[in-house]
Amino acid sequence: MIVLKKKEDIELIRKAAQLLGQTLAEVGRHIRPGVTTQFLDQIGDQYIRDHGAIPLCKGYEGFPSALCISVNDVVVHGIPGQLFIKEGDNVSLDCVIELDGYVADSAFTFAVGEISPEMERLLRVTKECLYLGLEKCKAGNRVGDIGHAVQSHAEKNGYGVVRELCGHGVGFKMHESPNVPNYGTPGTGALLKEGMVIAVEPMITMGSKNVKFSKTDGWTCRTKDGKPAAHFEHTVAIGAKGPEILTTFDYIEKILKH
């Protein structure tokens, strides 16, 4: 069942979403060669709790960490550990927080130092996919319009679009209806109505769209061909005239300029 949010709810989700943007920026500030993904997770966990919020990923169906930290060929759900980050990597931070009972979800893929032109292009196009998908987030459109916008831009650029994972409703819980795939046919799928809040999150691969899940931890999702992937995500409210993006990359972009 799709639960519509009132204006007051959306303002409180926005509050959580702003804190989430600050959290990703704070963790992003520490991404550099030689640090471990576990170190980054500890920074994020502490920052979230220090600001009165709860990291919802931690303990979710047994997931052990506050953030999903996915490096290079890991698409999503990377478990932080003793992996040392190195120059040229790409590092995706994906996090869900709850503040005063309201939930926001966001992800950003960071470049570590000098990355290859191919990796740079992948990150740029994936972010473009996100914003093209968000443009379709207005009342009267359908979920398939979002997926089609993401898919057509990714595939036009020669990239794969992951099928096994998708965006979703969010706001009162981490995962709500409807599912929001990153592929689809215009005019199909759930109708977008004013008051819906969803997470749009393109997961785009440099090579094949095929992925595999770790048999060891059950979470880590990698590209089958070992090529890099990128992931960007915003929480957005469906408006009558267009999208109301509740999460923000502004804090991240400030730290990237320094």
Q: How far is CA 52 from the centre of its chain?
A: 22
Does position 64 have pLDDT exceeding 80, yes or no?
yes
> Could you tell me the pLDDT band of residue 241, with boundaries at 50, 70 and 90?
confident
pLDDT tens sequence across 176-219: 999 999 999 999 999 999 999 999 999 999 999 999 999 999 99
- Indicate the DSSP class of residue 135: H
Beta strands in 47-142 (DSSP E): 54-55, 67-71, 74-76, 90-99, 102-111
Over the range 93-132, which residues count as b (16 or more CB within 10 Å of their CB) and which as e? bbbbbbbeebbbbbbbbbbbeebeeebebbbebbbbbbbb
pLDDT tens sequence across 100-112: 999 999 999 999 9
Helix (H) or strand (E) run with residue 83 in it: none
- Rounded to the nearest integer, the mean pLDDT of the chain is 97
What's the CA gap between 177 and 85, in Å, rounded? 35
Query: What pLDDT, on the 0 to 100 scale, is given for residue 191?
Result: 98
- Which amino acid would we find at residue 203? M
Set out the domains of the chain in order of their start, with CATH numbers: 7-257 (3.90.230.10)
Does position 96 have pLDDT exceeding 80, yes or no?
yes
The verdict on pTM exceeding 0.95 is yes
Does position 55 have pLDDT exceeding 80, yes or no?
yes
Backbone angles phi, psi at 98, to 5 degrees: -120, 125
What's the CA gap between 35 and 32, in Å, rounded? 6
Over the range 37-56, which residues count as b (16 or more CB within 10 Å of their CB) and which as e? bebbbbbbbebbeeeebbbb
Query: What pLDDT, on the 0 to 100 scale, is given for residue 108?
Result: 98
Backbone angles phi, psi at 50, to 5 degrees: -60, -25
Number of other CB atoms surrounding residue 133 within 10 Å: 28
Q: How far is CA 76 from CA 61, 141, 212, in A?
A: 16, 28, 11
Query: What pLDDT, on the 0 to 100 scale, is given for residue 94?
Result: 98
Query: What pLDDT, on the 0 to 100 scale, is given for residue 258?
Result: 77
Query: What is the average per-residue pLDDT within 36-42?
Result: 98
Does position 255 have pLDDT exceeding 80, yes or no?
yes
Over the range 5-25, which residues count as b (16 or more CB within 10 Å of their CB) and which as e? beeebbebbbbbbbbbbbbbb
Query: What pLDDT, on the 0 to 100 scale, is given for residue 240?
Result: 87
